[in-house]
Structure 1
Amino acid sequence: MAAEMDDMIVAEGLEKRFAGLAEPAVSALSTVLRAGRITGLVGPDGAGKTTLMRMFAGLLAPTAGSLRVAGFDPVRSARDLHQVVGYMPQKFGLYEDLTVLENLVLYADLRDVTGAARTASFEQLLAFTDLARFTGRPAGKLSGGMKQKLGLACALLGQPKVLLLDEPSVGVDPISRRELWRMVNTLADDGMAVVWSTSYLDEAELCHEVRLMNGGRMAYDGTPAELARRMAGRSVQLRAIEGNRRQVLTRALRDSQVIDGVIQGRNVRLVLREAGQWPDLASLMAGAEAQLVEVTPRLEDAFIDLLGGGPGGESVLAQVMPSIRLPDGVSADAIIEARGLTRTFGDFTATDHVTFQVARGEIFGLLGPNGAGKSTTFKMMCGLLTPSAGDARVMGIDLKRSASQARQQLGYMAQKFSLYGKLSVAANLRFFSGVYGLRGEVQRAKIDEMVRVFALGPYLDTVPNDLPLGFKQRLALACALMHEPAILFLDEPTSGVDPVTRREFWTHINGLVEKGVTVMVTTHFMDEAEYCDRIALVYRGQMIAAGSPDELKARAASAELPDPTMEDAFIKLVAESDAAREGAL
């Protein structure tokens, strides 16, 4: 490794207060971040991660304490600091109408990278990010992974000593995420100090060190492995479950010995309050063959433990939603149905003869790399795009002929929150309930119910753009459910949210499914895919694999990888498709 272990960021007693807020966003924070290391910055929504990153970048002045970055005071030496720090914010400022090369030129101008140094930097960065083939493509037409690569290239102009990445992998598929990690590891090996803010704990496990924040304070400062070791004997998996695993999870989360739980394919993973204190297996009613097996703790287990446990397994939302009854003549086996579904854009085929059906009360996942065609498929099933060929039906209604009628049967939660940013929370609730036909006392009662269920009362006069991410998600889900739909479409519903918020969300979804709601979801977060009953993997517009999460993992198993993760399965099945395609050419 080329770099010395230099202290590149040193914070002592750091504090940041904002006017109008009683509590500081960052409080009494002291830490040291070193060169040649990737340091993960993790914590729940509102923990202070982005505020801290902005202070590191010199964009916010600390209220108290001291901070030095690469030897500079970020306030007194802002210009010098900007020459040695690369910063990629959560919403990276790419200009979508400009090409890849034009974006690089713009950022080179801003960083005073000129002449021969510019030419050499562009050549090196385009090769490093594998974007040399796309220099003439507008940034807005890049896939999610390619946009992040371009953002990274722009942040690296000027050869910074410190690289600050705020949620760089949000909305990025597993293949692109691994490429991003490969590039960032190379930078750290060459001596750069990298700070990687993330809400994905599996990602934080890849960091050399982690800084876990909660309530503006540093809750942990050390290596991921050391933190996970604290959970020895407290992580177990419930296997050989008979019957409904969602109901088993709910029962397990009621047990006083269980502080957290998630679904993992046909199994349920639990975190115990104390090592050796296991829940009563009989009370879980998981079947005669069910057994609890100790498993290796994860960083996410320790994270949830540090925060005092997960949100539990009871959904207030499901308690107020009615059970779904199907109209006469609608088959419970085909609530959502695609037959030979195809969509072309000029000479390009985005979706190519995709066929599947989803039963009542089932969670069906659409997975695929960025640009694979899953979003196009998803939009056709929602009635937002008209198929070029084939059929799309929901509740037996043909989306080609009666899209408006079909949309009344479904709720839609878009990837980028289809909320009106300039309307208040209350106004959004009124608007969406009105769109779905609610009027008068019925409308007022439903709005009041959603405000109570999602704890939106303190935010009614706030515009969505000013909401914490977790509350944006709550509002978007509330708006999608105003009319008590039989079908719920979720497009990247938990992208960027922390594990606690993600668990709360899936507790609601699991509860709705128990009421007979049918769910179709797209996601790039593979742990989330484990909640699905079945998954269709879409690549190059075609469905290359389908089955339960465990069936897809079994297809990817090998002597070298006997127990693959869902991410391993995703990557291997896509690679096999590429190999088969090359063999056929």
Structure 2
Amino acid sequence: MSAAGVDSAPFVRLTAVTKRFGRAPPALDGIEGIVRGGRITGLVGPDGAGKTTLIRLMTGLMLPDEGTVEVLGYDTRRQPAAIQAAVGYMPQRFGLYEDLSVQENLELYADLRGLAKGERDRTFAELLQFTDLARFTTRLAGKLSGGMKQKLGLACALLRKPQLLLLDEPGVGVDPISRRDLWRMVENLTEEGIGVIWSTAYLEEAEACDHVFLLNQGRLLFSGPPREMTARVEDRVFRLSGTDGRRRHRLARLLEREGVVDGVIQGEAIRLVMKPGVTPPLGEDESVASSRTAATPPRFEDAFIDMLGGGPGGRSKLAETQRSFAVGDGKPVIEARGLTKRFGDFTAAADITFDIPRGEIFGLLGPNGAGKSTTFKMLCGLLKPSAGEGRVAGFDLRRDAPEARNRLGYMAQKFSLYGDLSVIQNLNFFAGVYGLSGITKRERIELMKEIFDFRPILDLSAKDLPLGLKQRLALACAVLHEPEVLFLDEPTSGVDPITRREFWTHINGLVEKGVTVLVTTHFMDEAEYCDRISLIYRGRSIALGSPDEMKSRIVREDLPDPTMEDAFIALIGASEAEEAA
């Protein structure tokens, strides 16, 4: 961080900023704050918190209803053009032209930004080197991985070196390696005195910021260094390990205890946030009586959940209504035998092999473009393998794909419902797709309305729902027919922590009923929920095992307690070194 950036005049000054849209509660309500140069300021909060609205106000593309926004000394009401000439802006859904190449996108945005012809060769070369995209100038933007698209978006925002860089959720849908690359690039920019605003719903990203504005439902809950936020739950976060019985069942019971604020699964252990003065209830619960408990460093997300009054609890009404499937017969429910998929000369997945028994959560992890989504689509019957065999619930995916699909529920990476249909129309449509009719159809739809609290929004179009509600609707549609297998492709990408907790409470409860789950995710803390993981890189499985087994492979003296993200990055690095040898 540059000392000049901290002591100089504010880059952004927000004074009693309020913004409304129609009759809804304010999108922003009396926001106050200062953003300085030479550091990364995080706009942190769940979907619908007001982050995008605040960034658009800073660009002058939108004006506040009350209060003032000053950017680099300019008032957004009177001097928006001066602001727009001095800032770089990367919107949440960056407007890359997917049928243009990397080079053509740079040239187009150079035209839009008015970059002089004589400066372009040097600027392009610097940005391509900075983002490590020099090898991909002829590749169409639509063919880039998620991380590479974000790097190209960053390059376009930097075509004219800005004083202030506004990044609206640049890490959404990006794997840990690409996310670290983006952070490294942005940190280098702050060393030049550039001010950076990084908007995110990923609370672990907040810890990498120098200063944080924490927003929720349009209100500013906290402003300051992230360590001040995490200090609020110091000595209240515990790790329970060595517990007897089923950890998902134990977590559900613990979350219903009075003194427990929040809890998540962490490999074979359980992580708990307790109320002040309360310690984990080891002696009062048979399921945790033999546990070992130890205080563990708090995370920003722990403090945020505590500030909101705690998580959603451990009860899943969805799981309570789910029929049970017998666990323990030894037969795999999902089988991959040498699964391979080629697209022309390119092999997207090669010789993928694993078994998943009933009642297990199995994770497919890997960087963007590694082949995990291809593997996932082959196993749920959406892609025909070039070689190998896949089976679901005993049905061969080549010969009996329709029968296999009737046994599974599918939740796609990108919202897969029909945006122009209302909530109730989507429920009716998918009930029909899954073969439900008559009284069974009516009862299941009524149940979903109650469990997910859809009644107030039944007539709203799916495309107009906030992301959290979209994901609830997608899950409801996927489980209408009580499937024995669930395929979840990055199901909580961009979703706020409370909704993620609610989602995993349902999944954990379903697994306790014998449902088998195959999931892809870029959240490394979500990977901890898995019983086993296959780490896929460059189309091949490079590691297979439990989260704890993978973490144990990279333990060393200077890294005695690695995270799942540490394991992800280290194992991929080791695979690259082995290939290069």
> Where on the TM-score scale, by shorter chain, does this alignment land: which range?
over 0.9
Please name the residue that 2:284 is paired with.
Answer: 283
Please name the residue that 1:414 is paired with.
Answer: 412
User: How far apart are the structure 1 equivalents of 2:31 and 2:18?
Assistant: 7
Range that drifts further, 237-246 or 263-272: 237-246
Shift in Å, 1:114: 2.0
Range that drifts further, 248-257 or 562-571: 248-257
Q: How does 1:90-489 map to 2 (within 5 A)?
A: 90-274=92-276, 276-324=277-325, 332-489=330-487
- 1:581 and 2:574 equivalent? no
Please name the residue that 2:48 is paired with.
Answer: 46
Shift in Å, 1:325: 5.0
- Whether the 8 Å contact between 1:248 and 1:285 is mirrored in structure 2 is no
TM-superposition CA deviations, 1:496-518 (whole Å, max 9, x none): 11111111110000011011100
User: How far apart are the structure 2 equivalents of 1:550 and 1:284?
Assistant: 25
TM-score, length basis structure 1: 0.97
User: How far apart are the structure 2 equivalents of 1:557 and 1:464?
Assistant: 46
Please name the residue that 1:525 is paired with.
Answer: 523
Q: Which amino acid aligns with 1:394?
A: V
> How many residues in Structure 1 have an aligned counterpart in Structure 2?
578
User: How far apart are the structure 2 equivalents of 1:43 and 1:532?
Assistant: 26
Please name the residue that 1:56 is paired with.
Answer: 58
Shift in Å, 1:332: 4.4
User: How far apart are the structure 2 equivalents of 1:286 and 1:239?
Assistant: 12
TM-superposition CA deviations, 1:295-351 (whole Å, max 9, x none): 11111111111111111111111112221259xxx9643000001111111111111
- Whether the 8 Å contact between 2:336 and 2:355 is mirrored in structure 1 is yes
TM-superposition CA deviations, 1:526-545 (whole Å, max 9, x none): 00000000001011111110
User: How far apart are the structure 2 equivalents of 1:521 and 1:349?
Assistant: 22
Q: Secondary structure at the match of 1:59?
A: coil
TM-score, length basis structure 2: 0.97
Q: Secondary structure at the match of 2:114?
A: coil
RMSD: 1.3
User: How far apart are the structure 1 equivalents of 2:457 and 2:88?
Assistant: 35
Q: Which amino acid aligns with 2:197?
A: V
Shift in Å, 1:89: 1.4
Structure 1 481/100 Cα, relative in aligned 2: closer, same or farther at 3 Å?
same
1:12 pairs with one of 10, 15, 25: 15
Q: Which amino acid aligns with 2:303?
A: A
TM-superposition CA deviations, 1:272-299 (whole Å, max 9, x none): 111x311321333335531221111111
TM-superposition CA deviations, 1:218-260 (whole Å, max 9, x none): 1100001111112121111111112211111111111111110
1:562 pairs with one of 553, 560, 580: 560
User: How far apart are the structure 1 equivalents of 2:579 and 2:455?
Assistant: 54
User: How far apart are the structure 2 equivalents of 1:455 and 1:195?
Assistant: 35
Q: How does 1:67-82 map to 2 (within 5 A)?
A: 67-82=69-84
Shift in Å, 1:51: 1.2
Identity %: 60
User: How far apart are the structure 1 equivalents of 2:210 and 2:5?
Assistant: 15
1:515 pairs with one of 513, 516, 522: 513
1:495 pairs with one of 493, 496, 499: 493
- Whether the 8 Å contact between 2:91 and 2:168 is mirrored in structure 1 is yes
TM-superposition CA deviations, 1:26-68 (whole Å, max 9, x none): 0011000100110111122222111111111222210000110
Please name the residue that 1:536 is paired with.
Answer: 534
User: How far apart are the structure 2 equivalents of 1:293 and 1:566?
Assistant: 19
Shift in Å, 1:81: 1.2
Q: Which amino acid aligns with 1:574?
A: I
- Whether the 8 Å contact between 1:333 and 1:357 is mirrored in structure 2 is no
Q: Secondary structure at the match of 2:534?
A: strand
User: How far apart are the structure 1 equivalents of 2:109 and 2:424?
Assistant: 40
Shift in Å, 1:362: 0.2
Q: Which amino acid aligns with 1:356?
A: F
Please name the residue that 1:553 is paired with.
Answer: 551
Q: Secondary structure at the match of 1:318?
A: helix
User: How far apart are the structure 1 equivalents of 2:202 and 2:216?
Assistant: 15
User: How far apart are the structure 2 equivalents of 1:197 and 1:216?
Assistant: 14
User: How far apart are the structure 2 equivalents of 1:70 and 1:158?
Assistant: 16
TM-superposition CA deviations, 1:433-474 (whole Å, max 9, x none): 110111222212211111111111122111122111100000
User: How far apart are the structure 2 equivalents of 1:124 and 1:106?
Assistant: 17
User: How far apart are the structure 2 equivalents of 1:4 and 1:292?
Assistant: 43
Range that drifts further, 288-297 or 521-530: 288-297
